[in-house]
Amino acid sequence: MRIGVLGGTFDPPHVGHLLLAADAREALKLDRLIFIPVWAQPFKVGTPPVASALDRLEMVRLAVADDANYAVDDAEINRKGLSYTVDTLEHLAERYKGAQLFLLMGQDTLAGFPQWRNPERIQELATLALMMRSGAQDVGDWRTAENVVTVSTRRVDVSSTEIRERRRAKKSIKGFVPESVEMFIEARGLYR
């Protein structure tokens, strides 16, 4: 079984996340792609998520609910505290014994990867799938590194930050997030 792993704050999850997931699923021939919302990112301790962990988890569940190829894992939310990728991959390797794991990483996270907790173990547990936007700059030595693949993905100019700013400015977010997520955000009064 080939499983993709996409972690993030998802504050909120948006169409860019879903398109990236679809590109990865097709390119890597994944049997399943698992979204994993973090409790708190170690490199963003000074800027905690805006929405609560449970609201972000529910929004991710709503965003992928219609696609049987996607799943949501709440391990990092349940663990609480700082979310370390190596701990999550250990959890997934145990849960899906024998599966080949692919950790989806944006090219913007590459520079900091050596500072992650136990990056060598991460590469033992999963193949790094570098999501490269069309027209992106070269990733240097990563392209030839062991247990690393590159995946071409489309450029989608939408971000969670932009969505939160639009909500604060009382602008529509229709088309930026799935309709179910938009309705949840509205019902909960998030990002006002």
8: left (phi over 0), alpha (psi -120 to 50) or beta: left
Residues forming a β-bridge with 34: 5, 71
**Amino acid code (one letter) for 39:** W
Enumerate residue ranges in the chain where pLDDT < 50.
Answer: none
How high is the pLDDT of residue 146?
A: 75
pLDDT in tens, 167-178: 999 999 999 999
SS3 per-residue string spanning 17-66? HHHHHHHHHHHHCCCEEEEEECCECHHHCCCCCCCCHHHHHHHHHHHHCC
How high is the pLDDT of residue 134?
A: 66
Q: 155: which DSSP letter?
A: -
**CB of 113 closer than 8 Å to CB of 119:** yes
> What dotted CATH number matches 2-186?
3.40.50.620
The model's pTM is: 0.92
